[in-house]
């Protein structure tokens, strides 16, 4: 470690000691992975966007103590627990009822099939009416829950994930150890109780901790008063729009708004979920409810966490439907992962220069997706993308990450790259911010959905700002250079200190495509040829 600032990059929340928990033997091996050491445990490339959101909301909505405290809160109750954890639901019965008929055929055990049919009979016995009416009621309920499938393709029924549209659909990862079950390694399988030995609730194959890490960023932010370093950020002109709400007010409003969404989206889902889980409670595999142990996040992420909280609150307090809000938050979660990778990489990267007007000190220069090869705007976006990948690649090879003063092994670096620059590329392509999906010329772009997200997250519901101020907010939050002065700054940064001719070159890049996209979305008001206003029409709903 070279400086005090370097040491702060690696300070951890909720604990600073090396992780050695006997509850999770994988933690010790993770110390070899430079991406985990730099970013926290862990952002995971193979976790789907839905499961990032689902895991984030599951930690938020679950109790943080065995006594049930901490539901719908960004509080870990560290003074009451020996290890930071949360107590999520398994929802085995609900998954059996919903996912079994369409699940992966090869991993359907005979006991699962017989118990599924038995479960259907039990549910029918609780419904009043003729046999035909009972059959129809069960089909309708199954159809309803099937409409909220998040991830199910090619999975065993118990590892499928619901869309996190209600608290009653949030569940921890449970896997079926099919290879062991075939060989009956833990004993013969004759009924549900003996089959339960082959369910495992301690794996992280699908809910890989990415959503947990996003939750921990916010829990860390809200666990103490604003630090002097974050306070200095909020004193800057480009962040004055964030200083109107105190940190604790922001926390209370965000907790209330997220709770409102999870209870309001489809209220009947929670009631039906509770009915199924209660009726089929004997399918619960854990007789004693188990906690899920949390890992850690770098304390230095408080700046990007503050931006994340501000943006999410704007979305939550809009008058959009709850399902629309969740869809925007899902994308925002992936952008937060991408932003966090860049923020933390720049904290230890000693080569790239700083940026004026953006505390993250990097730039994502976006271009019109339709620009032809060789066009100036497209070339700038390609150069910007290449520079970002270079920073992420260099960061994991920083001497600050050496173990005992020695460079890391190539295998460990490759594992780190999977969950750093390769993940940045994958997530960028999944949300449409990086194109093409295959081939050369990768670059930053914005589609209509991402422009809509920018308006919803950067402007308070009903707020109006000049187009130039909107460009500045996009830059000061995400490092996105859309036009105006941020484009000049971003081009100079990307070119490692361009001279005035380069600045004029970047200033001449057309922003017509951005303005047209804003106008098509109903977000742009042209007052005159020289003045345009961007507004967020989704007025405050007062939700929560």
**Cα-based angle 424, 88, 324 (whole degrees, multiple of 5):** 55
CA-CA-CA-CA torsion sign (183, 185, 189, 195): negative
Distance, CA of 284 to CA of 228 (rounded, Å)? 48
Residue 207's nearest CA partner among 174, 182, 165 is: 174
Q: Supply the pLDDT for residue 58.
A: 97
Q: Beta strands of 41-98 (E only): which ranges?
A: 85-86
Q: Which residues have C-beta within 8 Å of that of residue 180, sequence separation ≥ 6?
A: 186, 198
Radius of gyration of the chain (CA): 25
Return the structure tokens found at 454.
């920018």
| The pLDDT value given to residue 265 | 61
Give, for all 544 residues of the chain, the pLDDT tens digit. 444 455 568 889 997 544 433 344 445 556 688 999 999 999 999 999 999 999 999 999 999 999 999 999 999 999 998 899 999 999 999 999 999 998 888 888 899 999 999 999 999 999 999 999 999 999 999 999 999 999 988 899 999 999 999 999 999 999 999 889 888 888 998 999 999 889 998 888 899 999 999 999 999 999 999 989 899 999 999 999 998 899 999 999 999 999 999 987 667 788 889 999 999 988 887 766 889 999 999 999 999 999 999 999 999 999 999 999 999 999 999 999 999 999 999 999 988 888 999 999 999 999 999 999 989 999 999 999 999 999 999 999 998 888 877 888 888 899 899 999 999 999 999 999 999 999 899 999 999 999 999 999 999 999 999 999 999 999 999 999 999 999 999 999 988 754 434 444 444 678 899 999 999 999 999 887 778 999 999 765 434 3
Nearest to residue 195, comparing CAs of 267, 118, 263, 126?
118
C-alpha span between 396 and 96 (Å, rounded): 42
Q: How many Cβ atoms sit within 10 Å of the Cβ of residue 79?
A: 5
Q: Match 């729009």 to its residue by tokens.
A: 241
pLDDT score, position 21: 38
Burial code of 10-22, b = ≥16 C-beta within 10 A, e = fewer?
Answer: bebbbeeeebeee
18 close to 416: Cβ distance less than 8 angstroms: no
Say what the pLDDT of residue 503 is. 45
Percentages of the chain per state (helix, strand, coil), in multiples of 5: 55, 5, 40
Q: Are 159 and 173 in contact (CB under 8 A)?
A: yes
Q: What is the rounded distance in angstroms from the CA atom of residue 198 to the CA atom of residue 333?
A: 33
**What letter does residue 151 receive in the DSSP assignment?**
E
Residue 215 has which token pair? 């939750």
Sign of CA dihedral 52, 58, 60, 61: positive
444: which 2 tokens? 């930053």
Using CA atoms in the order 528, 533, 539, 542, what is the torsion angle rounded to 10 degrees?
-140
DSSP per-residue string spanning 444-510: EE--HHHHHHHHHHHS-TT-EEEHHHHHHHHHHHH-EE-SHHHHHHHHHHHTTS--HHHHHHHHTS-
Q: Which residues are 199's β-sheet partners? A: 176
Tokens of 362: 């990097």
Closest CA to 480 of 366, 331, 315, 309: 366
pLDDT at residue 6, rounded to an integer: 54
């Amino acid at each position: 470690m070279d400086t005090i600032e370097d040491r702060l990059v690696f300070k951890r929340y909720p604990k600073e000691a090396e992780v050695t928990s006997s509850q999770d033997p994988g933690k010790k091996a993770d110390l070899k992975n430079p991406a985990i050491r730099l970013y926290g445990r862990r952002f995971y490339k193979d976790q789907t966007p839905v499961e990032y959101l689902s895991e984030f909301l599951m930690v938020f909505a679950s109790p943080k103590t065995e006594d049930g405290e901490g539901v719908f809160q960004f509080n870990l109750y560290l003074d009451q627990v020996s290890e930071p954890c949360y107590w999520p639901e398994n929802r085995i019965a609900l998954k059996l009822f919903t996912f079994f008929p369409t699940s992966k055929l090869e991993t359907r055990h005979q006991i699962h099939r017989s118990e599924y049919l038995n479960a259907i009979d039990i549910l029918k016995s609780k419904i009043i009416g003729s046999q035909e009416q009972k059959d129809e009621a069960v089909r309708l309920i199954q159809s309803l829950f099937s409409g909220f499938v998040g991830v199910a393709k090619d999975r065993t029924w118990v590892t499928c994930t619901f869309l996190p549209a209600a608290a009653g659909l949030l569940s921890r990862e449970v896997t079926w150890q099919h290879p062991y079950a075939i060989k009956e390694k833990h004993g013969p399988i004759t009924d549900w109780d003996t089959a339960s030995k082959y369910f495992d609730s301690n794996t992280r194959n699908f809910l890989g901790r990415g959503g947990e890490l996003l939750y921990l960023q916010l829990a860390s932010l809200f666990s103490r008063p604003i630090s002097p370093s974050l306070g200095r950020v909020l004193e800057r002109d480009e962040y004055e729009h964030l200083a109107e709400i105190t940190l604790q007010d922001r926390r209370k409003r965000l907790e209330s708004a997220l709770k409102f969404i999870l209870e309001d989206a489809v209220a009947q889902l929670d009631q039906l979920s509770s009915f199924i889980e209660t009726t089929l409670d004997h399918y619960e595999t854990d007789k004693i409810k188990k906690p899920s142990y949390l890992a850690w996040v770098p304390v230095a992420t408080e700046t990007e966490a503050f931006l994340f909280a501000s943006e999410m609150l704007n979305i939550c307090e809009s008058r959009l439907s709850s399902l629309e809000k969740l869809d925007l938050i899902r994308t925002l979660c992936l952008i937060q992962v991408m932003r966090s990778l860049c923020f933390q990489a720049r904290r230890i990267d000693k080569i790239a220069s700083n940026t004026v007007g953006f505390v993250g000190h990097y730039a994502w220069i976006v271009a019109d997706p339709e620009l032809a090869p060789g066009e100036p705007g497209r070339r700038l976006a390609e150069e910007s993308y290449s520079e970002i990948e270079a920073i992420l690649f260099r960061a994991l090879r920083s001497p600050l990450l050496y173990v005992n003063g020695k460079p890391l092994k190539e295998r460990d670096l490759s594992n780190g790259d999977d969950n750093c620059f390769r993940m940045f590329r994958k997530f960028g392509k999944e949300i449409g911010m990086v194109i093409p999906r295959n081939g050369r010329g990768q670059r930053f772009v914005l589609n209509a959905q991402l422009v809509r997200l920018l308006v919803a997250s950067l402007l308070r519901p009903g707020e109006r700002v000049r187009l130039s101020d909107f460009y500045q907010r996009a830059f000061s939050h995400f490092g996105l250079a859309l036009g105006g002065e941020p484009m000049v700054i971003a081009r100079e940064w990307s070119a490692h200190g361009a001279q005035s001719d380069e600045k004029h070159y970047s200033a001449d890049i057309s922003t017509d495509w951005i303005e047209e996209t804003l106008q098509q979305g109903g977000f742009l008001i042209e007052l005159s040829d020289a003045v345009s206003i961007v507004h967020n029409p989704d007025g405050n709903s007062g939700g929560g």
